[in-house]
Amino acid sequence: MQNDIFIGIDLGTSGARAIAIDKDQAVIAEGKSGLADHGTDHRDPAIWRATVFTALSSVTKAIERTYIKAIAIDGTSGSMLPIDAEGTPLAQAHMYNDPCEVSEIIDIIARTAPLESAAHGATSGAAKALLFQTLAPNAHQIVHQADWLTGQFCGIYASDDNNALKTGYDSVTRNWPDWMEKAGIDRARLPEVNEPGTSIGPIQRQIADQFDLPRSTLIVSGTTDGCAAFLATGASQPGDGVTSIGTTLILKIISEKPIFDPTSGIYSHRLLGNWLAGGASNTGAGVLLNHFTLDEITVLSAQIDPGIRLGLDYYPLSKPGERFPVSDPDFQPRLTPRPERDVDFLHAMFEGIAEIEKCAYSKLTALGAPALNSIRTVGGAANNDTLTKIREARLTLHSSNPAHVEAAYGTALLAKRGAKG
């Protein structure tokens, strides 16, 4: 493996990024391409394909292609489309945030799916699968975005545990469960599911020739963009946690056993022999931006003494409703009393976010996850040193720097895993 190269490709909401790593997991080249560079309809799989191919072309120009051993791809969780036996799309794709507007479908899944299943909700893959059975009744398969892109490289439209989770796949028993038939979902149309990082097969000859790649290049099962981003941080051992503070707060911890608790909004992804247990809270930078501009947050943060605790017991939310560490659509924000000084108001919201994070990790531990022993932070708010110090004080743990912040790096690690067999 002296000169072996592994490529990960991430297709996110705005474009694709490709990263090539060597045997020591060092980045040796990067390439990217925007969806908007190829068209305006982000639901068009042809635009996905063109975007991914352009990013791949860009990264391969900077490396010795004869050493490329494997490629893996991640996509947005819950984005799906129906295809024929040759992989041709039969209807417009439905994206991760496109809700199913047929209430009967949502009701059927609510009645038949176990409470702990991730298939519940209007944006779930299960809802999309049922909908596509009506919109494309002759579909050979109904696949996820990453499945379809992977199939464009190897001709096999298989999925992975992580993308399949919200479509109803049971990662514990490793099958499409019986309740799906009761709901009317034709399991025969759903893809075979592999663990992320599993070799699916060699690249198709015409694709290898198009990019001047070795015909022995392996195509490896990928994951969701969120799980890829987790892997990219370098978290790898039970007890390693990753908190993403963007518009919302998302956190996961590596656990040796799966944890599913719908009353707390907790679900688990199978990954690299362990499980990623966690959930997403509606708190985060979004609520901060309801009250302050980015510049104001920067200026006020510099005036906060993180060693002083105000203790106003805030629960910062933009509107009623919380997902994790409690799942309650009527959960009320707490942003009073409002201090006279803006700096104290921001300080109190920082403390509220830190307390929610602490409660979330504590909830995971109480349900069987290991105690948090390391924390890596990603997302825009990760750059706010004041918030970081307040969070570290509540968690009684110092942050570790992420190995990388691009999901494509995590997917490249899966490519390397798949190439090793």
Work out whether strand 399-400 and strand 374-378 pair parallel, antiparallel, or are unpaired.
parallel
For residues 157 and 290, state if they share a domain: no
For residues 254 and 219, state if they share a domain: no
In order of 38, 78, 121, 175, 344, the CA distances from 96 in angstroms are 20, 4, 12, 22, 37
Q: Residue 160 is encoded by which pair of tokens?
A: 């992975």
Read off the CATH number of the domain in which 259 is found: 3.30.420.40
Q: Residue 252 is encoded by which pair of tokens?
A: 């996961």
Residue 178 CA to its chain's centroid (Å): 26
For residues 172 and 54, state if they share a domain: yes
Total tally of structural domains belonging to the chain: 2
For residues 204 and 335, state if they share a domain: no
The rounded distance, in Å, linking the Cα atoms of 255 and 364 is 9
Q: Would you state the pLDDT for residue 364?
A: 97
The rounded distance, in Å, linking the Cα atoms of 80 and 167 is 10
For residues 383 and 253, state if they share a domain: yes
**Local structure of 368: helix, strand or coil:** coil
Neighbouring C-beta atoms of residue 82, cutoff 10 Å: 26
In order of 18, 19, 408, the CA distances from 30 in angstroms are 6, 5, 9
Neighbouring C-beta atoms of residue 152, cutoff 10 Å: 19
**In-domain check, residue 232:** no
Q: What angle do CA 140, 146, 149 make, to 5 degrees?
A: 75
For residues 44 and 88, state if they share a domain: yes
Residue-range definition of the domain harbouring residue 93? 5-227+407-419
Per-residue pLDDT of the chain (421 residues; tens, 9 = 90+): 568 999 999 999 899 999 999 999 999 999 999 999 999 999 999 999 999 999 999 999 999 999 999 999 999 999 999 999 999 999 999 999 899 999 999 999 999 999 999 999 899 999 999 999 999 999 999 999 999 999 999 999 999 999 999 999 999 999 999 999 999 999 999 999 999 999 999 999 999 999 999 999 999 999 999 999 999 999 999 999 999 998 999 999 999 999 999 888 899 999 989 999 999 999 999 999 999 999 999 999 999 999 999 999 999 999 999 999 998 989 999 999 999 999 999 999 999 999 999 999 999 999 999 999 999 999 888 999 999 999 999 999 999 999 999 999 999 999 999 998 6
Which residues, including other chains, have CB under 8 Å from residue 63's CB and lie 6 or more apart?
A: 5, 20, 28, 29
For residues 274 and 213, state if they share a domain: no
Q: Are 6 and 24 in contact (CB under 8 A)?
A: no
CA atoms within 13 A on the CB side of 48: 31
The rounded distance, in Å, linking the Cα atoms of 141 and 419 is 27
For residues 32 and 174, state if they share a domain: yes
**In-domain check, residue 14:** yes
Q: Are 151 and 86 in contact (CB under 8 A)?
A: no
For residues 247 and 336, state if they share a domain: yes
Q: Are 157 and 148 in contact (CB under 8 A)?
A: yes
Which residues, including other chains, have CB under 8 Å from residue 400's CB and lie 6 or more apart?
A: 234, 374, 375, 376
The rounded distance, in Å, linking the Cα atoms of 297 and 236 is 33
Q: Taking the C-alpha atoms of 169, 273, 263 and 240 in order, what is their torsion angle to the nearest 10 degrees? A: -150
The enclosing H or E element of 29 equals: strand 27-34
| DSSP secondary structure letter of residue 328 | B
For residues 259 and 299, state if they share a domain: yes
